[in-house]
A and B are shown apart, each in its own frame.
Chain A
Amino acid sequence: MIKTAFLNLWRKKTRTILSIAMITVGIAAIIAMTSLADGLFMDIKSAVSQIQGITIYEKSQGILSAKTDEKLVDEIKKIPGVKDAKPLIIATTRSIEGRESNFGLEAASIIRLFGTTYKSNSETVGGVKGEILKGRNLKEGERNKVVIGKEIADRYNKFVGDKIRINNSTYEIVGIYRTGSKFFNLGILMALEDLRELAGFPQGKVSEISVELDDPTETDRMVNMIKFKLGDKYRVISSSQFAESLSNVLDNVKFLVMAVASIAAIVAAVGILNTMLMSVMERYKEIGVLKATGWTNGSIMRMVLYESAILGILGGTAGIILGMALSKFVENYVTMRVYVSQTLLIESFIFAIAVGLFAGLYPAWKASTFNPVDALRAE
C-alpha cells in the first residue's frame, strides 16, 4: 500500500513537490533558527560562566550604560577577602579602519571595547578568562596600544605590530587574544584612559568594578559583605547570579523561536491539508472503485494517511538538509556560533511526520466516508 501511496502522490508532481517544499521550508527555518539560538545561548552561557568573581555597578542604570564612581575601587580593596578590584569601562563601536563594520547580523557587527588598568597579571579580558594567542597582554600604564580579539584579527587581517584605527584614533596592536566565546572574541582591549578618551566617558567614572576574591568558594558570602559595606546605591552580583538572570532572558528568546516555528508548522499543515483534500476529491470515483473491490473505510483512510505521512517524511528530510546547510552558511559568513543538536534533528523530523499525519487526518476521513454508489455514478 505504501508503493501505491507513493504512486498516487506522483500523479501531480508539481503539486506534491510544492507541498513538500512547504514542509521543507518550515523545518529548515526551525532548524536554522533553533540552532542559531542554541549556539548563541551556549556562547553567551560559556562566556558568562567565565566571568570571574563579582561585578559592581551603580543601580538605576543598565550594565552597559552604568557610570560608577572610580574611587570605589580603593574602598572595595580594603574589604577583607578581596584580592583585587579593577575599574572597567565597556563601550562599543562599529567604526574600524574608517569603515562601518557589517557582518550580516546586527548583533554580530557590534565590536566591544574593554578598557581597564592592568595591575594584576592574570590574563583576563573584560573580566572574562582568556589566553593570549600571539604577542603579549597590555602592561600597566601603557598607552595607545591594544590587544585585539581573534575575530577582529581574522576579519581585518591584522597581525601583531600592525596599526588599527578605531573611530578616529589609531592604535598599535601588541597582542591577539582568544576566549571561549565568539561574543567576547569580537572585542578590543585597551588602557582604561585610552577608552575613556575614545568613548568620551566622564572623568572619575567607570562602567563597573570587577572584584577578584582570595577564595572563590566564598562568593555568596562576599556578595553580601560588599553589599553591606557599600550600601543600597550599588548592585553587587556574582557571575552565577548573572548567569541566572541571563538564562531567563534566553528562555524568552527560545519561546519566541518556538512561536515562529509553530507558525511555520501551521502554514505547512494547511498546505498539506489543501493538497490532500484536492487529491482525494480528484480520486472520488477511483476510491469508489476501491470500495467496490472490498477496501474498507479503514483501508482507504490508511492509504491517504500514508500519502500525507510520505509528504512529511520527504519534507522533513529535505528540511533537515536545507536547515543544516543554512546554519553552516550562517556559521561561516556571519560570526555566529551555531549548534545543531541531534535532539533538534530528531525532533524536527518527528515533527514533520506529525504535521503530515495531522494534516492528512481530515482528508483521510473524508475519503473514507465517500459513498461508493455515488462515487461510481460520478463522471
Chain B
Amino acid sequence: MPKKIIEMKNVCKEYKMGKVMVKALCGISLDIYEGDFVIIVGPSGSGKSTLLHLMGALDRPSSGKVLIGGKDLSLLDDWSLAMLRRKTMGFVFQMFNLVPTLNALENVMLPLEPTGKDEVEKIRRAKELLKIVGLEHRMLHKPSELSGGESQRVAIARALINDPAIVLADEPTGNLDSKTGAQIIDMLLKMNKERNKTFIIATHDLSLLKYGNKNIYLRDGKIEKIVER
C-alpha cells in the first residue's frame, strides 16, 4: 500500500477580488498517494491553479484541512511553508518562468541558492539533471537562446533539484506544440516510473488524461468526478 502524501478534507478556498469574495474551491476532499500521476482537468476558472497551489503548500485553505506528509498547512507559518516547499515540492509553469539573466545551469541551481549546500555539489547535481532532461550541451545558454521545449526541460530540471517527493505542473505543455508537449509528458512519466515521484499536472488538454492514474475533473470549484485507472 503506497503512502498517502496529500490529504484534503472538505477544503474551501476563497479570496478577495476587488471588493467581492470569490469562492475558488469548495468542498474538496481527496487523497494523493506516493507515485501517483495525477491529471487535473477543467475549464478556465474551475479552480485548477488554486487546487495546485494548495497541494504545493503555496497557500493555506480558507476552511477544511490540507495535510502534506501529515503536516496541517493551516498550522504552518510562512517560513515553515517555504521550508516544506523547499524539501518536498518542485514547480513547473506554463510560461517556464526562468530567470532571463541566468544560464540554464544557474537557473536549475536557483532553488538551492539560499541553502548552505556545497557549491560543487550543487553544480554536480544540476549538471546531472540537465543531462537527464537531455540538455547537457545547452547548459551555458541563457533562456533567450533556448526553444520553448528546451526552456521547459530546464524548468523541469529546476523543479527536481531539491529531489522533491511531489512535482506540480501548471499547464506544462500549454506553450508548446503538440509534439514537444508529448516529449515533455513522456519525460515526466519516465521520472514518475523510475524515481517514484508524485506528479500533479493541471491542464486544459484532455489528451493528457490517458496518462493519469488518477484524473480529477473540476467544474466551478467543485470536484465533478475522480477517475482512478
**Interface residues, chain A, with chain B CB atoms under 8 Å away:** 1, 4, 7-8, 10-11, 285-286, 289-299, 302, 372-373, 376-377
**Can you report 19 residue pairs joining A to B where beta carbons are below 8 Å apart?**
A4-B99, A4-B102, A4-B106, A4-B113, A289-B93, A292-B58, A292-B91, A293-B85, A293-B86, A293-B110, A293-B111, A293-B158, A293-B159, A294-B82, A295-B114, A296-B82, A298-B79, A302-B114, A372-B59
- A296 near B101: Cβ-Cβ < 8 Å: no
- Chain A residues contacting B82 (CB-CB under 8 Å) are 291, 294-297
- Chain A residues contacting B56 (CB-CB under 8 Å) are 292
For A294, give the chain B residue with the smallest CB separation: B86
- The verdict on B195 contacting chain A, using a C-beta distance below 8 Å, is no
Please give the distance in Å from A280's CB to the nearest CB on chain B. Answer: 14
Additional 20 contacts, C-beta under 8 A, given A1-B114, A11-B101, A296-B79? A4-B99, A4-B110, A4-B113, A7-B101, A10-B101, A289-B93, A291-B58, A292-B89, A293-B85, A293-B90, A293-B159, A294-B87, A294-B114, A294-B162, A295-B111, A295-B114, A296-B78, A372-B58, A373-B50, A373-B59
Q: How far is the CA of A36 from the CA of B159 in the complex (A)?
A: 58
- B86 near A376: Cβ-Cβ < 8 Å: no
Please give the distance in Å from A367's CB to the nearest CB on chain B. Answer: 14
For B164, give the chain A residue with the smallest CB separation: A294
For A379, give the chain B residue with the smallest CB separation: B95
Instruction: Annotate B50-82 by CB proximity to A: 1 below 8 A, 0 otherwise.
Output: 100100101100000000000000000011001
Choose from B79, B106, B162 the contact partner of A297 (Cβ within 8 Å). B79
Please give the distance in Å from B2's CB to the nearest CB on chain A. Answer: 25
- Chain B residues contacting A293 (CB-CB under 8 Å) are 85-86, 90-91, 110-111, 158-159, 162
- Chain B residues contacting A299 (CB-CB under 8 Å) are 113-114
- A377 near B49: Cβ-Cβ < 8 Å: yes
- The verdict on B100 contacting chain A, using a C-beta distance below 8 Å, is yes
Choose from B53, B85, B93, B100 the contact partner of A294 (Cβ within 8 Å). B85
- Chain B residues contacting A290 (CB-CB under 8 Å) are 110
For A372, give the chain B residue with the smallest CB separation: B58
- Chain A residues contacting B102 (CB-CB under 8 Å) are 4, 7
For B54, give the chain A residue with the smallest CB separation: A373
Q: Quick one: given A286-B97, A297-B79, are A292 and B85 in contact (CB under 8 Å)?
A: yes
- The verdict on B83 contacting chain A, using a C-beta distance below 8 Å, is yes
- Going nearest first, the 6 A-B pairs with the smallest beta carbon separation are A294-B86, A299-B114, A293-B111, A7-B101, A296-B82, A294-B85
Q: Quick one: given A292-B58, A373-B59, are A1 and B113 in contact (CB under 8 Å)?
A: yes
- B111 near A373: Cβ-Cβ < 8 Å: no
Q: How far is the CA of A292 from the CA of B99 in the complex (A)?
A: 14
**Chain A interface mostly:** helix
Q: How far is the CA of A372 from the CA of B59 in the complex (A)?
A: 8
- Chain B residues contacting A8 (CB-CB under 8 Å) are 101
For A296, give the chain B residue with the smallest CB separation: B82
- Chain A residues contacting B111 (CB-CB under 8 Å) are 293-295
For B86, give the chain A residue with the smallest CB separation: A294
- Chain A residues contacting B110 (CB-CB under 8 Å) are 4, 290, 293
- A11 near B53: Cβ-Cβ < 8 Å: no
Please give the distance in Å from B51's CB to the nearest CB on chain A. Answer: 12
- Chain A residues contacting B106 (CB-CB under 8 Å) are 4
Q: How far is the CA of A293 from the CA of B108 in the complex (A)?
A: 11
Please give the distance in Å from B222's CB to the nearest CB on chain A. Answer: 20
- Chain B residues contacting A295 (CB-CB under 8 Å) are 82, 86, 111, 113-114
For B109, give the chain A residue with the smallest CB separation: A4
Of residues 105 through 139 on chain B, the ones whose CB sits less than 8 Å from some CB of chain A are: 106, 110-111, 113-114
For A368, give the chain B residue with the smallest CB separation: B78
Q: How far is the CA of A376 from the CA of B171 in the complex (A)?
A: 13
- Chain B residues contacting A298 (CB-CB under 8 Å) are 79
- B99 near A373: Cβ-Cβ < 8 Å: no
- A286 near B99: Cβ-Cβ < 8 Å: yes
Q: Quick one: given A297-B82, A373-B58, are A285 and B97 in contact (CB under 8 Å)?
A: yes
For B168, give the chain A residue with the smallest CB separation: A292
Please give the distance in Å from B101's CB to the nearest CB on chain A. Answer: 4
Q: How far is the CA of A10 from the CA of B50 in the complex (A)?
A: 34
- Chain A residues contacting B85 (CB-CB under 8 Å) are 291-294
Q: How far is the CA of A4 from the CA of B53 in the complex (A)?
A: 26
- B91 near A289: Cβ-Cβ < 8 Å: yes
- B78 near A376: Cβ-Cβ < 8 Å: no
Please give the distance in Å from B184's CB to the nearest CB on chain A. Answer: 18
- Chain B residues contacting A289 (CB-CB under 8 Å) are 91, 93, 97
For B91, give the chain A residue with the smallest CB separation: A292
Of residues 138 through 176 on chain B, the ones whose CB sits less than 8 Å from some CB of chain A are: 158-159, 162, 170
Please give the distance in Å from B183's CB to the nearest CB on chain A. Answer: 23
The winner among A7, A372, A377 for most chain B CB atoms within 10 A is A372
- B100 near A11: Cβ-Cβ < 8 Å: yes
Q: How far is the CA of A194 from the CA of B228 in the complex (A)?
A: 116
For B115, give the chain A residue with the smallest CB separation: A294
- Chain B residues contacting A294 (CB-CB under 8 Å) are 82-83, 85-87, 89, 111, 114, 162
Q: How far is the CA of A285 from the CA of B91 in the complex (A)?
A: 14
